[in-house]
Amino acid sequence: MDVTIVDYKSGNISSVINSFKEVAKDKVNIEVTSDLNKIKSSDKVVLPGQGSFKSCIDGLNSINGLIDTLSEFTLYTKKPLLGICVGLQMFADVGYEEVETKGLGWISGKVSKIDNQNGKYKLPHIGWNQINIVKESKIFKDIENNSHMYFVHSYEFIPNDNSVTAATTDYSSNIVCAIEKENIFGTQFHPEKSDKTGLKIIDNFINL
């Protein structure tokens, strides 16, 4: 089986690569590339994202045909895709970080700044926080509710349809921190930085 981690120069993704390789061992081929043909032929795709919504969308747009290839993989061939952090946020129709930026439009919704209640909550939201699993999700197989995951973000994904929400975390409000819609999965937290529990989520995705 081939799992492709999309490399579109969105910051340092070495911890994502290392954790996937650690979980995959020799059973699964992990490829890190932006080659369109390799993405098309892979069994699963991981879309990491570090930095701002705009910088990540710009990064995808800088590689000719990449967004179309990812959309085809996700929406038409319906193979599993996992978005991490801004990788999840880009599923939305629009993001409001820096400037209003059009998202991938795979899951209807928007990405807005977390309401820090006039400074009561520090932004970015950094560190370990509990997650509340709100629906049975394939990537949460054998994960206990209220497990702690590692977060680094100032913006949140607000879906139009709450049925796609797989988990939330409490920080100023109930923030969506995991998505599952058919073959599309996403985590706002960083599974690659979330110790053994995070590795289990990666394992669950690889074994879908």
User: Model confidence over 57-92: pLDDT tens digits?
Assistant: 999 999 999 999 999 999 999 999 999 999 999 999
Say if residues 190 and 13 touch (Cβ distance below 8 Å). no
The token duo for 34 is: 């932006």
Pairing of strands 155-159, 109-113: antiparallel
What confidence category does residue 53 fall into, taking pLDDT thresholds of 50, 70 and 90?
Answer: very high
Domains of the chain, earliest start first: 2-206 (3.40.50.880)
How far apart CA 86 and CA 186 sit, in angstroms, is 9
What confidence category does residue 12 fall into, taking pLDDT thresholds of 50, 70 and 90?
Answer: confident
pLDDT of the residue at 116? 93
Across the chain, mean pLDDT equals: 96
- Residues assigned a catalytic role: 85, 190, 192
How far apart CA 74 and CA 194 sit, in angstroms, is 26
